[in-house]
Structure 1
Amino acid sequence: MAGKRDTSRDGLNNKIQTLVLTNFKGLWQLIQSNESIKRKVNKALLNSLIYKIPTRPNPYSMMTLDKHIPDTDKEKKTDTYTSWDSLNDRTYTGRHLPPNPKLNDPNNLPKVEDLAILFRKRDGKTIYSSKSTMLFPYWVQWFTDSFLRLDHTNKLKNTSNHEIDLCNVYGLTRKQTHLLRSFKGGKFKTQKLKRQDGVEEEYPLFYYADPAQGIVDPQFVGLYEPVNDEKRQPADKKQYLFAMGVERANVQIGYVMLNTLCLREHNRLCDVLASNYPDWDDERLFQTSRNILMAIILKIIMEEYINHITPYHFKLFADPEAFTKESWYRTNHMSIEFDFVYRWHSAIPETFTCNGKPTHVATTLWNNKILIDQGLGALMEETCSQPGTRIGLFNTPDILVELAELPSIRLGRELQLASYNDYRELCGFPRVNSFDQITGDEFTQQKLKEFYGHVDNIEFFVGLYSEDVRQNSTIPPLVARLIGIDAFSQALTNPLLSPKIFNKDTLSPIGWEIYQTTNTVSDLVNRNVPSSGKKYKVTFDLHKE
């Protein structure tokens, strides 16, 4: 039963900021009509968000938990201090708060298996998003996978470059990138495949030479080691898996759609650059096209994607030059908390329409034939014509509760994450002192009290998704706060956006023009599908025509 949430612990400043930004629409439109005032307000709002927590570098990293204590030590202690190695070794994931082993004592916490009820759907009912299409969770999984990459052999480490660098498209290393390149005209290796209606579209090459035996095409040996889930796929699925930048790029059709879109746009940019600068060689065409595409994706993330998340009337925008002297303008170091706020397993429906038919989400895993048969434009439009699901408790597909939600809780305990209340305090929210200050839903309150007894005992991961989503937002408040802090402070520090780099010399005059006039995923899609006179509907917003 839904009741009214007690807002007394939201914080006065937070309340005022939300009230002002979600009202007075006419005033905000007036402000945004003046370029000078708009830039000043944009800078002030972004800084007010990023400075909610202490700026990087963080004094701690996951290295704290990996100190090679001798096996003879019966009682392992977790010391929390800063070292030069922990500040600079980015193979270890960062952390905002130090470990808290007392909070994570198994004797003081509910059994992980018992917490499954918090994520399973109540009475089997799916709660759909009132704001987001399915493109929203597809995009999130795709772009975050380029920098939130926990090492599966050691969860204290990560395998990312700590940048939004499109490694899912280009590969993590120069060697991997070279395996994907044609070395002709700056382009990727590609092939033409026919849709069901016979029209050809451009895709990456296939990864396997012999799908039945799991033999990789020799030209892609060393690209990556396939994950176990891919290795278990039958030959009829393996034969359509593409050679792309990272080992999970084929995992689901949303991921493959966006990778295919970027491949086509990169190759399209190469053609545009070659026609404008005929003396450029393959290397310059490749590198400049890569720079342009990465800058465009960063812009879409900071403007279309972030503004879809927020309920604000003022539309935040990328303005790299405004922030270079800020104390938060530091080298990126992805944090474990940032990884946890992007575990949106509840965001994709268990069943949705695919190629006009009801389809279980499991069917869309490792199944590129769906995209090949339907084509990028049609599948993208179908994706954007149906809602995603609400992010929060009691809404995760059954297959993901055991595979994703419960392992997240176990990982939080293993990494000794601080409590939900500790992270509220870090992010500028007052600590809650009753369950009805987290959510107005009485059933959720009851279950949280039953499992944890006191609000101070609630674990970070559970608390994140227990909160009510604000009106016209897409995610709970603490999730939104942490995303805003890390997303902007680590996107705007991308080397491509630094003042001496972010210019026509780097992107080329024609590339600069393309960047300035590309604002949405729709812009990318509709110029990278076979010409038919049709404009496909591509949007994060469920209500946008």
Structure 2
Amino acid sequence: MSSRDEGNLNMEGVNAGNGGDDKKFVKEKNKLGSKYRNYFTGKFQGKSRKGEKSDQKRPQKGNTRSNSEPIPTPAPTLEPRPELPSEPTLIPTSQSQPRPQSNSQPQSQPKTITTVTIMPPKSSTSQPRWTSDIPKTTPTVVSDIESATHSIHSIFHDLKTITPEDANTLLQLFSSQIKGVQNDNTLLLEKTVKLLASQPEDSQIGKSLTASFVNTLWDALPHPPVRSLDKKFMYRDADGGNNNILMPDLGKAGTAYAKSVKPERMRKKNLPDPGELFDGLMRRGGLDGEEAFKGSPTGISSQLFYLATIIIHDLFLTDHEDMTKSKTSSYLDLAPLYGCNQEEQNAVRKFEDGKLKPDCFSSKRILGFPPGVGVFLIMFNRFHNHVVGMLAQINDNGRFTKPKAEAAKSAFDKYDNDLFQTGRLITCGLYVNIVLKDYVRTILNLNRTTSKWDLDPRVSETKTLLNKPAAEGVGNQVTAEFNLIYRWHSAISQRDEKWTNAEYARLFPNKNPADVTLPELLRGLHSMEAELPTDPSQRSFADLNRLSNGSYDDESLVSIFSSSVEDLSGAFGATNVPPIMRSIEILSILQSRSWNMCTLNEFRSFVGLSRHTSFADINPDPVIAKRLKEFYGSPDDVEFYPGVVVEKIKPPVVPGSGLCTGYSISYSILSDAVGLVRGDRFYTTDYTPESLTNWGYNEVQFDTNIDDGAVLYKLVLRAFPNHFQGNSIYAHFPFVTPETNREIQKDLGRENLYSWDKPKKKADLPKVEGWEECKKILDDKANWKVTWGAPIAVLTSQSPSDSTKTTGPPKIPPFCLAGDESINTTSRSLIISSFHDLPTGHGNKNDKEHPDWQSSIAQFYTDNTADLFDKHKVLIPNLSAYSNANGNGSATRNGAVAPRKTYRVDIVSDICNRVFTRFAAGVFDFPLKLGMGNTVDVNVTTDVEDGYTEEELYTALSTGFICIFNNFDVTKSFVVNQEARAVAKRLGDILMEHTNGGGIGGVVEGLKDRLHSLVHDDETERLAEEKVEKEKARLALKGYGKSMLQRFVDKGKKAGWGVERVVWEQILPTSAAMTANQSQLLSQVLDYYLSDSGSSHLPKLYTIAHETSKESDDLLLHYFLEAARLRGTVALFRLYSPSQAASQTTTTPHAPGTVVLLNLPLAHYDPVAFPNPETVVLDRNLDSYLMFGHGPHECLGRDIALAGMVRVFRIIVGLKNLRLDAGSSGYSRKSTAGESRGMKTVETEFGMAYLDDELATLGPFPKGLRVCWDE
């Protein structure tokens, strides 16, 4: 056969089938033939072709096979044969071995059969499984090529059948695979089926697409499943079992450690003595002239390593009876708190309302560590008990309904267990978020940046053509390697080293702690553990005494916590392990050897790190390197442990390296963190609001706008609310010492956001509940001062010229509610006159163009309330029918009954919140995005930025109000302040822009230009402009808006304040103080009259609402105030700070500096001030109501607020057959005045709180109240 014949070998007979007409096919034919021409023309040096003799001598070595022997057939394989690489390298081999070439004449060779090994290109760096040598003989290669060319021919033939529509379908399929999501609105599934059905039966494209289609459908669902409806998988097992629903024992407590690395290097017979290894490589101060203690180079505190201790003992608890097994599970399930098995879990449970026994934890071994570790667990204990208490109150649609007293014990057991197990899931949710968002961020030095990124293995992934998401919820089994990696004794601080020495001295009173042998230590620890009580609540801790309720004194626990935050931890690396740990380290080395662990280099190779090639590469310190060489002789013989301890440590890198561990450890612990979290079903596939409840899921969730996602402050502040300020640096970033933290936060420009004071107990908060005493304090400005100055400064400090927003603390502005000085009185006068002194010409209530303020406000609320009802009411079809003769329909002349239409609306979110928000927008000229029916959404914008929707503006203004008046919960206060700063900045910038021009009228006028670009015909444009004018007329508040802003500025100038100060220090806090509270109070009034206690008044209210007399106005006002008294939640604070003169004439049991809480809700039930306090009485003195304050700080907008609220109240109670929506899922809450069935409320230590519709968040303002009425 000639070389040309060989070059076209695989093309024989093809042209005939093709008709010789397809030039494209011939081109492909020649290209394929030339690819293998080198092989068939025998251009491989020293290699023979079939039927020819080699031109070189080959030594007769091993088994050679002559040409007469049968050609070997490759052995069958269970795996499909892979396709050839695009650029293969053909390496012929022979059964006889070649010899080097020489200049001598070639000698005759026996006939041999040459085989070909097909390898990937030399440039390839990947090593897939199929790259092992695949022997192929010449006939099989020819057969493969012929098959390939036939496939190519088939594909070219199939391409002729593809229509443009099919091509578009293929393009959509490819696009969906790239994106990982399919837009089924395009009917892509149906188009795909149509394409596949149109292909011939033998179509290569059809077969390939069908296979791809099947794979896509298969991948749409998990195989095998990772979730189950079986209730045994609903909660964590006490021993960690059933995490993987198909392998229930995977990671279960009591199972053996896994082992990752295969040790292949032969171990030397005489390994170094463990004691000598410790003394020469690990002992703190083990080098001449070296400081005994080396501190963390990044200022990490001992607190981080206390959490590390919890994590380590959560995952590793070697069974001393069988050292191959761990007595704890392989999951981050807080076993040190909850126990490793059911018996231990039962011992720590209270078996009452889902709670744990107070201030205790399960693990006995934790008592052998510095007290800071135990305090950390006690904080988790307190968080758990708080959580289950809230779960019981919220009751999540009846999920945690407490059984009746006469119910069977099994019902109470189920109630307790459901609360406990759900509380554990939520607490573990906070635990894992602390690990990922605080602990790992500090390890990676991300805490020194403002980056929102972090290493969260729970990242949501979508399968695409280029990415296959890592598996989730498949379980985990901890390994022996990581058991040894997590022995971080070099990080022990000097303080904790002293504590450990003292504990050894206590355990071995007659012996020098440094001389305690390993056997003595093990016996001593075993004896100590055996003597501890089985009941965790009976164990002593840190020499503290329990209180009568079983808990520890907060002051002692906070002291331990704070000092631990201030305690600098040790650095990683050689010669920094305290001498007292000598026996422990010897045990670690012996344990590593008993497990036959790999070498350090073998481990590094396994995890993908380069091998150490020299001792200096392991540790560049010449003394350490020299000692390593003396101990081991070769870098390849250095044992895994202590190798990971004595390795050189990484330098600080921002971000990247904060823990500064040894090189092998740093990569490994991140890998382990990913596996631990992503493999845990309860942190991935079952980490849902369904499992944790909406409230629980939200309670432990992180927010990257707060501390860049860190969440540890939630645990600390919930455990010790009476000692920490909400912005305490000790609570927010306890993993770094305060000294280092100040440098970090200063560099980030956030130093002013945090309190740097050491935590201390706050003063008790006395409560004043009598009406007379409350009124007296409110009237006594000389002795009792307001406390709103600092929170108001949170808002006003965002002004451009206020430097305190970065240097802090914020400067208290001269706003009327910020203090009790003369400057505050000036502010009050300015605000009152700006509101009431309308321009000349106003004041005639019959003049629609220039009305007085009362008429202007009344008309505004009438028009906008009606508009909101029209926009948000929903017809209920099944209730909108003909009523019976005794019902609500009206009979006609022939006896028929007129149809009744029933509507539903959320009276809080759709009416009250929106109408008062519109009022604020009208008063202060805030821009709103206005819905323009079905034609076009019109954005009312300014030069500052886009306007607000009604919901957005309400949220902004209510956030400001909460910041000033309702920021009681210390665990939420920092979040509220951060949100308030953001909304204040935007509101203030808008107000500044509007004081220099613009305004709602001018902006709406400007919308006409925009409409020209959105509509095309004259009629449509005319209708759209009419809508704009209609909205403009309804939102315009005569005499307010731009006009009032100008009055503020003019009057401020007379007081010596520039425009910026007037805007930021007067107008901004005024706007924040007047919206949310009006909606709140009106909602509470409606809640009362819709409840069982107040609904009897609705018929009378309906009648009064349709009257227009002055008497009806007065009656409605009294009805309103009585319900506000019965349902109101307003409480006020005052600081006792008497002047010298006033203190001589004032008698009070309170010491100067005392802050008291005026409990106005209880004061309003005082029978002396309000006879028959539980009854609506319509002739009470209007001055007796204190919900608007009293005296010099009475709400300055009281008259305006009451006018607006009563006007909206009139419209709502005037609805026919007003009632609660039958589908309302509100929860009853008992009060002196009865029960509320409409609003979802819970009782907290700060008073009544309202839940949103999802039962996810709590707040001081009602979130919703659905009502129905008939028309």
Give the TM-score normalised by the residue count of structure 1: 0.68
The change in CA–CA distance for 1:318 and 1:265 in structure 2 (over 3 A counts) is: farther
Distance 1:348 1:327 in 2: 36
1:388 to 569, 577, 585: 569
Q: Which amino acid aligns with 1:339?
A: N
Residue 382 of structure 2 corresponds to which residue in structure 1?
Answer: 264
Deviation at 1:467, TM superposition (A): 2.1
Structure having the higher Rg: 2
RMSD of aligned alpha carbons: 2.8
Report the counterpart of residue 273 of structure 2 in structure 1: 111
Deviation string 1:266-319 (CA, Å, 9 cap, x unpaired) is 001112212211625322221111100111111111221112112466522353
User: Deviation of residue 485 (structure 1)?
Assistant: 1.3
- Give the AA of the match of 1:269: V
Indicate the residue corresponding to 1:527 in structure 2: 718
Q: Structure 1's 367 and 449: CA in aligned 2 closer, same or farther, altered over 3 A? A: farther
C-alpha separation in 2, matches of 1:269 and 1:363 = 37
Aligned to 2:292: 125
Match of 1:152 among 317, 320, 329: 320
Aligned in 2, Cα 1:269/1:367: closer, same or farther, shift over 3 Å?
Answer: closer
Higher relative contact order (CA 8 A, sep 6+): 1
Within 5 A, what are the aligned runs for 1:122-521?
Answer: 122=285, 125-131=292-298, 132-190=300-358, 203-204=359-360, 244-252=361-369, 253-277=371-395, 279=401, 281-311=415-445, 314-319=453-458, 321-322=460-461, 325-326=469-470, 330-351=474-495, 359-363=498-502, 368-369=542-543, 375-402=556-583, 404-472=584-652, 473=657, 474=659, 475-499=661-685, 501-517=686-702, 519-521=710-712
Gaps of 5+ in 2: 1-124, 126-246, 403-414, 463-467, 505-539, 546-551, 704-709, 743-1271
Bigger Cα displacement from structure 2, 522-531 vs 137-146: 522-531
How far apart are 1:464 and its partner, in Å?
0.9
How many Å separate the matches in 1 of 2:723 and 2:604?
Answer: 51
- C-alpha distance in 2 between matches for 1:363 and 1:520: 34
Superposed displacement of residue 531, structure 1 = 1.1
Aligned-pair distance for 1:479?
A: 0.6
C-alpha distance in structure 2 between counterparts of 1:422 and 1:133, whole Å? 33
1:378 Cα shift? 2.4
Shift of 1:124: 6.2
Take 1:87 and 1:300, find their aligned partners in 2: how far apart are those partners? 25
Residues 378 and 536, structure 1, Cα contact 8 Å, conserved in 2:
no
Partners of 2:251 and 2:366 lie apart in 1 by 29
Unaligned runs of 5+ in 1: 1-12, 14-83, 191-202, 205-243, 353-357
C-alpha separation in 2, matches of 1:266 and 1:163: 19
8 Å contact 1:349–1:361 — kept in the other structure?
no
* CA deviation vs aligned residue, 1:162-220 (integer Å, no higher than 9, x gap): 11111111111223222222222211122xxxxxxxxxxxx23xxxxxxxxxxxxxxxx
User: In 1, Cα distance between the equivalents of 2:344 and 2:544?
Assistant: 27
Q: Post-superposition shift, 1:142?
A: 1.3
Alpha-carbon distance in 1 for matches of 2:461, 2:301: 32
- For residues 421 and 152 of structure 1, what CA distance do their matches in structure 2 show? 29
Report the CA distance shift for 1:427/1:261 in structure 2 as closer, same or farther (over 3 A): same
Equivalent residues of 1:110, 1:451 under 8 A apart: yes
Offset, 1:537 = 0.5
Deviation at 1:532, TM superposition (A): 3.8
CA separation of 1:509 and 1:127: change in aligned 2, threshold 3 A: same
Deviation at 1:453, TM superposition (A): 1.4
Q: Distance in 1 between matches of 2:695 and 2:637?
A: 56
Shift of 1:263: 0.7
1:21-100 aligned at under 5 Å gives the runs 91-99=255-263
Could you tell me how far apart the structure 1 residues matched to 2:306 and 2:386 are?
Answer: 23
* Paired residues of 1:350 and 1:361 also in contact (CA < 8 A): no
CA distance in 2, matches of 1:407, 1:442: 27
Identity across aligned pairs (percent)? 23
Per-residue deviation, 1:536: 6.3
Provide the rounded CA distance (Å) in 2 between the counterparts of 1:300 and 1:116: 34
Q: 1:433: Cα distance to partner?
A: 1.3
Q: Determine if contact 1:182/1:188 at 8 Å carries over to the other structure.
A: yes
SS in 1 for 2:741: coil
1:99 and 1:415 in contact (8 A); partners too: no
Distance 1:488 1:273, change over 3 A: same
1:435 and 1:258 mapped to 2: Cα distance?
40
Shift of the 315–265 alpha-carbon distance from structure 1 to 2, 3 Å rule, reads: same
Give distance in 1, aligned partners of 2:341 and 2:582: 33
Alignment of 1:6-17 (within 5 A): none
Paired with 2:472 and 2:478, the residues of 1 have a C-alpha distance of: 14
How far apart, in 2, do the equivalents of 1:476 and 1:433 lie?
A: 16
Distance 1:147 1:533, change over 3 A: closer
Cα distance, 1:251–1:322 mapped onto 2, change above 3 Å: farther
Give secondary structure in 1 for the equivalent of 2:569: strand
Letter in 2 for 1:248: R
Deviation at 1:151, TM superposition (A): 1.0
What CA deviation, in whole Å up to 9, does each residue of 1:314-363 have, x standing for no partner? 522353543994258632111000111100111112435xxxxx953334
CA distance in 1, matches of 2:641, 2:416: 47
Q: Give the letter for the 1:144 counterpart.
A: I
Aligned residue for 1:156, secondary structure, equals strand
1:440 CA drift (Å): 2.2
CA distance in 2 between counterparts of 1:87 and 1:146 reads: 16
Secondary structure of 1:165's match? Answer: coil
Q: Which amino acid letter does the alignment assign opposite residue 505 of structure 1?
A: E
> Which segment drifts farther, 308-317 or 131-140?
308-317
The residue aligned with 1:544 is 741
Query: Shift in Å at residue 521 of structure 1?
Result: 2.4
In structure 2, give the amino acid aligned to 1:179: A
Change in CA separation of 1:300 and 1:400 when aligned onto 2, cut-off 3 Å: same
| Contact 2:492 2:569 survives alignment (8 Å) | yes
Instruction: Go from structure 1 to structure 2 and tell me whether the alpha carbon gap of 1:444 and 1:367 turns closer, same or farther (over 3 Å shift).
Output: farther
Contact kept, 8 Å, 2:347 with 2:362, in 1: the verdict is no
Deviates more, 1:417-426 or 1:471-480: 471-480
Partner SS for 1:116: helix
Amino acid at match of 1:159: K
Moved more, 410-419 or 316-325: 316-325
What is the CA-CA distance between 1:247 and the residue it aligns to?
A: 3.0
CA 1:462–1:386 in structure 2 vs 1: closer, same or farther (change >3 Å)? Answer: same
Q: Distance in 2 between matches of 1:284 and 1:328?
A: 25
Distance 1:88 1:439, change over 3 A: closer
Aligned length, in residue pairs: 402
Contact 2:614 2:635 in 1 (8 A): yes
Q: Which amino acid aligns with 1:119?
A: M
Q: Residue type of the partner of 1:537?
A: Y
